[in-house]
Amino acid sequence: MNEKKTGSMRRKGTISDTIVHVLLAVLAVIWVIPILWIVLLSFSSQKGSYVTTFFPKGYTLHNYARLFTDTQNLDFPQMFKNTFIIACFVCLISTFFVLSMAYCTSRLRFKMRKPYMNVAMILKLFPAFMSMVAVYYILKVLNLTDGAMIRVALILVYSGGAGIEFLIAKGFFDTIPKALDEAAYLDGATRFQVFTKVTIPLSKPIIVYTVLTSFLNPWLDFIFAKVICRANAKYYTVSVGLWKMLEKEYIDKWYTSFAAGAVCISIPIAILFVFMQRYYSDGLSGAVKG
């Protein structure tokens, strides 16, 4: 009887596993279809946004060439350069802010610590764009909304609120045994040395997550970039530039180039992800073994 029950349970488990695998495969296909369509459209020789077939009737590299040569109206290389510069600075500043805040709230005990974390959690419930009008006028008073200062303004906007993202990193730091800190203190290490030489080497997964999210913010954000850049086309980011390609006066000529631009801006993100992926290994288990 026990063998029959065990066999029946195994068959049920196999059937349920098969169903789950099939469902995941279907979801994966659904998720890949829009990406595949954008990639195919970027090589399409057809013009305009009205297409009747999933696969293009002809293929060409002209859409990519136009992105980097036809810069009279929409200067995509300049937009790409603006976004890349902003993203690099924001990535460095935001990562430092987030990790510092997370370490302080995880390891230090100070007055108003819990109320501060509660306030941060409440503020996270509200979307950031609710403050964009106030942020714009603050930047305007500081003369950061014209000329080359627009890049500085965007860096400040994206980096300024980064510290409030500390809760996830704080939860990760809480999992690191405090005994490691105490052992380092006994060896004469300062708190900063504990942070940089003990905690950070054990926190590679959360550092990778923080770096990726910090780098993605300038690439993906449209609202703040549009509000701050306004009509200054020289300082557009890629999100604003791609949106301009879909406007009425550009869409017939630039629709397939819009798809090519969407593919191009995914390349730095993919490279960063591939480069950082090797650091996802669990450093904490390695430290415990040592």
71-117 confidence digits (pLDDT tens): 887 888 899 999 999 999 999 999 998 998 888 888 888 888 888 88
Q: How far is CA 152 from each of CA 6, 81, 235, rounded to the nearest angstrom?
A: 66, 14, 11
Rounded to two decimals, what is the model's pTM? 0.81
Contact 212, 273 (CB under 8 A): yes
CA distance 290 to 283: 11
* pLDDT recorded at residue 281: 54
| For residues 162-181, average pLDDT | 84
* 77-97 core/surface letters (b: 16 or more CB in 10 A; e: else): eebbebbbebbebbbebbbeb
Give the 3-state secondary structure of residue 112.
Answer: coil
Q: How far is CA 146 from each of CA 217, 225, 234, rounded to the nearest angstrom?
A: 22, 13, 11
Report residue 8 as tokens. Answer: 């029946």
Q: Nearest-CA neighbor of 285 among 167, 175, 170?
A: 175
- The helix-helix angle for 62-69 and 76-107 (nearest 10°) equals 80
Q: Percentages helix, strand, coil for the chain, rounded to the nearest 5?
A: 75, 0, 20
| Tens-place pLDDT, residues 125-146 | 877 777 888 888 888 888 888 8
CB atoms closer than 10 angstroms to residue 200: 15
